A and B are shown apart, each in its own frame.
Chain A
Amino acid sequence: MSGLAHYLEDEGIPTTLIALIRKHAEEIKPPRALAVPFELGRPLGAPNEPDFQRRVLRDCLELLEAESGPTLEDFPDDAPGADVDQEGWACPVNFAAPVQDMSDEELLTQTLLQEVSLLKPWYEESKQTRGGRTNYGISGKAPEEIPAFFASLVVNREDTPSPIDDKPAPLAFKQMADDMRYYYMEAAIARPDGRVTDLDIGNWLWGETTLGKVLVEIRDWAMESENEGFKALATTAMVPTHQRHRTKHG
């Protein structure tokens, strides 16, 4: 982000930015930066807090009034809800314990399909409460079309053909994995609760669902794979840092 500021300003465009990692702004020294003490992924602080968000953006824009630079200022307040105990959230659906046998492709497919089916009404409800908004749809596949591919990846690994014609299997997997996580997580936040975070739903998805088990299993072999596409994704783009303790390689 700070690097882009250098390039744009150097070409004559005044820039200001929000910095989520203060140390990076200190070192890269973009012309104007507002350091914020928020969670990664939430540069404006918190959802559905328009007054707070407006203050953050306003403070960031007002750095354009500085007479000289580089200038790095701190936003003074934590995000609303940052200090609230998170114990209250619970997924609206209770699943059976995740499948442990990772060798039965048919069982994995059916279990994933069942999870998709159980979550469906909550996914639809969640979408409706946001005026039809959903992040689902990156891969172009419906949620019911994805489980068989994932189950095959667990059992047959790199030998699984890509189900999307013009995309290699690792990219198809990445986009479908994103879609499935969106589907599960949007369903999981169907009951409005602005305080729920990535960690709450992450602990549920990665710890309590078969999808989570399947994704960890794929990551475990992908880390040791000779398929460059899968291996590259496995390192950083499969399992969030706060869930890596569930994986073989951490």
Chain B
Amino acid sequence: MVHLREMPDHLREALINQELPDYGDTPWVTPKPLNECRVALISTAGLHRREDPPFTPGSADYRIIPDDYDMDQLVMSHLSTNFDRSGFYQDVNTSFPFDRLSELADEGVIGSVASRHYSFMGATPPTVMEPIARDLAKVLKADNVDAVALVPV
């Protein structure tokens, strides 16, 4: 397994101890009760519909993943070679748990599944994504999304 604890020491240390931006105090919004929340997924795995343009180095934008898309047609064009993709080859839910989210809506754990989900490409530093992320928040509100689950890769 390419688990953190099995990476070569110097590379693991470089990854874990990389310099991180200071985002300041943690913001906090009290959500609706979970079983009333309409939830969207946001991935940073560089996922997109097969027909969409692939992510390129430095991409700070996102791709929209509509809820009625055939998720088995999602492809991954993340820049990094440093994470496992064999799990994703076998099951899209390993990194984009759309089916699991739908099941949790059916079980009543969450209120409902949003009609649109999103993916960024996480090799780009989040600070570069800031204006786009802030604009995305407005889109999410307009779409009546009550909460988002952020899923890395």
Least CB distance, B142 to chain A, in whole angstroms: 11
Q: A69: CB under 8 A from chain B?
A: yes
Contact mask A197-216 → B, CB, 8 Å, 1/0?
11111100000000000000
CB contacts under 8 Å to A, within B98-153, are 99-101, 103-104, 109-110, 120, 122-123, 125-127, 129-130, 133-134, 136-138, 140-141, 145-153
A14 touches B31 (CB 8 A): yes
Chain B contact-residue range equals: 35 or more
A57 touches B104 (CB 8 A): yes
Q: In this complex, what residue of A is CB-closest to B43?
A: A43
A4 touches B89 (CB 8 A): no
Note all chain A residues with C-beta closer than 8 A to B7: 241-242
Contact mask A212-241 → B, CB, 8 Å, 1/0?
000000000000000000001100111111
Chain A contact-residue range equals: 35 or more
Note all chain A residues with C-beta closer than 8 A to B72: 130-133
29 contacts between A and B (CB under 8 A): A3-B23, A7-B133, A8-B150, A14-B29, A14-B31, A14-B147, A16-B150, A17-B150, A28-B20, A40-B84, A41-B84, A42-B95, A43-B94, A43-B151, A43-B153, A50-B100, A54-B103, A61-B147, A64-B31, A70-B28, A82-B1, A82-B3, A138-B75, A174-B57, A198-B86, A232-B57, A233-B57, A236-B82, A241-B7
